[in-house]
Amino acid sequence: MSKKLAQRKRGSGDGDGEMVKLTTPITVLVAAVGGQGGQLFSQWLFDAAKEAGFYPTGVGLPGLSQREGATVYYLEFFAEPEATALFSPFPEKGKVQVLIGLELLELLRAVREGYLAEDGVIIGSTHRVLTTDEKLPIWGNFVTSEQVLPILRQRSKQCVAFDAVQAAKLAGLSELAANAILFGALASSGALPFPVEAFRRAIEHYGIAVSFNLRAFEFGSRYREWLPQLQKLDDFATQEWESLPEPKLPTELQRELEALSIDDELAKILRHAAKWLCHYQDARYFARYLDCVRAIYERENGQGTKEGLLVTKEVARILATRMAYEDAIRVAQLKTQRQRFERLKKEHQIGNETVYRVVDFFSPDWDELTGLLPFGGARGEGEGTRNEESELPELPSQSEELKRASLQMKIETSSLTGYLLLKVLQLLKPLRPYSRRFKREWAAINEWIEAVKQAIDKDYDLAFLVARSGELVRGYGRTRRKTLALWRTFAAFLNALEKRGMKVSEVVDLGEQFLSLAMSGPEGAEKAWLFAKERLGN
């Protein structure tokens, strides 16, 4: 790192002297794609510099909200206000000290055009937003991180690069958290001579989804801890996704999808949902998804918000996952996929000529065994027991779960008999919408959707919080029951706080703390429940 970026101390010999900033400006270039939030990221940087005592100046060339629109933001941070008159609106090649890329190809372009200084630092995300040419069949390939990272490391003195979108998923957050995670990595990397607190205050000052972005920022600031885990993430889901055929939607449904694709980000979410839900069930199921998303969009748009439809996008993303819940049919589908056998062979170094066996052990409980049957109420599973003296439903206890009857099964999936047995189970897919499990899942989904609608009418930050809370419900079996009960605890917690006359901003802050605890690890559900109980004084 250049000495121009450093801060010197002078004063007493014990190191407690006054910080003196050097006069040479710090030069920063942010490269992104239209619609990625490059302007927000640059504003955070601008505010962080002010908080750190610098005098920032900058210029932006915003692109269109589409892949063709590359966006560039150039900033210079001066130590003295008089020096800002020397600001150059154009970055000088070979003089950019910190290069930040929100997308891999744009980061590579900036490096190849020679903007980075010899001792410059690169902070960037390796995820891709494909160009129009890359999407064409004639292209046949696209730029990957494996090709680009060696170049970035060679051209820079320090390179911190990871897939910020995947990091957001690792943190249990949405893709919207990617930029804040990268901002946190920048803060802790030492690339800029700003205290970490200056970065935090910048997020607070801008005032957009503050609690959410701060949570992502804190995760990003610990990137050294989780980066090895991110690099080892299995690519099984990616392989499965790439193998799925493009859905053939009815003309009317295709028109509805296009009409709801307000911007590129929402359009991408909807296209992915179409592909996923049509594979999971059928086009009619995706139409049901669109109805829910449209209802949220109309409610949010009717409020005249200018936040980029954050609530609609979050509901659209989470709803697709909630609708593709894992039942016996889905498990059978996963166990018999070709990609799974290829992955197992690769992991265990099994050659093509080697004979091997794959044995799966199943332990379905009563709810899972009867979940495909057409009878049964819409409520019950995950509702949680209600204590008359408490405002919160109880979480299912470990002893209760252990008392549930279960069936121990062992199936050799690699054998003809075992494989066909699971394939026959998949034939029940058309009956899924009439099943007991389907009714229960949709009762829970409707509760969540209705809670989001009500929150939109009250406060936008509250609505964004409730929208994100839908991600609490995950897994299957006992995990599904526990997390569903946890979501209902979350909803009851917010309702109880509102009844006490608490300010909405305070309700949102406590709700954020609840979500943070709930997503903190294996014991998160219990920690969040105890937190809510203590806050309510129950």
The whole-chain average pLDDT of the chain stands at: 84
Q: What is the pLDDT of residue 188?
A: 95
Is the pLDDT at 202 greater than 50? The verdict is yes
pLDDT category at 502 given cuts 50, 70, 90 is very high
Backbone angles phi, psi at 32, to 5 degrees: -150, -170
pLDDT tens digit sequence for 385-414 = 555 567 888 888 777 777 777 788 899 999
pLDDT tens digit sequence for 114-148 = 999 999 999 999 987 766 555 544 334 456 776 78
Instruction: Give the pTM.
Output: 0.67
Is the pLDDT at 20 greater than 50? The verdict is no
Is the pLDDT at 254 greater than 70? The verdict is yes
CA 501 to CA 513: how far, in whole Å? 19
Residue (of 176, 204, 154, 162) closest to 48 by Cα position: 204
Contacts of 49 (CB under 8 A, 6+ apart): 26, 55, 56, 75, 77, 192, 194, 198
pLDDT tens digit sequence for 156-187 = 999 999 999 889 988 888 888 999 999 999 99
Residue (of 248, 271, 245) closest to 258 by Cα position: 271
Show me where the domains of the chain are located: 3-231, 234-324, 325-538
* Residue 131 to residues 68, 371, 402, Cα–Cα distance (Å): 7, 44, 52
- The hierarchical CATH code for the domain 3-231 is 3.40.920.10
Q: What is the pLDDT of residue 404?
A: 77
